[in-house]
Structure 1
Amino acid sequence: MAAKIYRPAKTAMQSGKAKTHLWVLEFDPEVPRSIDPVFGYTSSSDMKQQLRLTFETQELAEAYAKREGIEYRVIQPKEPTRQAISYTDNFRFNRQTPWTH
């Protein structure tokens, strides 16, 4: 039984950073998913794929995995690189690209 510990990234559908400060422990799939021949649904008999445990810190998640004997790997979060863009730069007289509608 293996698991991964990570901090989820902000989704493209949200502007804030809600639910990105918690660390998540998810189990890796042990059984591959199968396709139902009649309805076309995908299903699996592996119930641990449905578990998603959240922790306040990475250390708490690692301590839980060690205590329960779960083999785990930690995926470090990548901080976004933000460019500082000024609105007034759109109207500079020495702009590199022409500003048109």
Structure 2
Amino acid sequence: MHARLYQRPKHAMQSGRARTGEWLLEFERDDRMRADALTGWSGSGFTAGQLQLRFATQEAALAYAAANDLEVEIVTLGPRVLKIQAYADNFR
């Protein structure tokens, strides 16, 4: 089974950095979505796609993946770039 491991990014609409240090493990979809004949809604029988496991460290997540025979793709965050600017710079 394939899984994706990544670190939670900072929410773009908030200034806080809560829960940005934790690592998330999500399972990749194995089958494709299909339409239900009765309702027309799309769905599948892959229930592991609804799970999102949280870990404090990357090593703990990789240990869990190794214990459960998961193939893990690690997605890293890009560098954090800060634009240091004073309020007075708006008037120059």
TM-score of the pair, normalised by structure 1: 0.79
Corresponding position of 2:58: 58
Higher relative contact order (CA 8 A, sep 6+): 2
Q: How many residues align?
A: 92
Distance of 1:21 and 1:91 partners within structure 2? 37
Aligned AA (2:54):
T
Corresponding position of 2:70: 70
Aligned AA (1:87):
Y
Q: Percent identity?
A: 38
- Cα distance 1:40–1:84, how it changes in 2: closer, same or farther (>3 A)? farther
Corresponding position of 1:8: 8
Q: Structure 2 stretches of 5 or more lacking a match?
A: none
Q: Structure 1 stretches of 5 or more lacking a match?
A: 93-101
Larger C-alpha radius of gyration, 1 or 2? 1
Moved over 6 A (4+): none
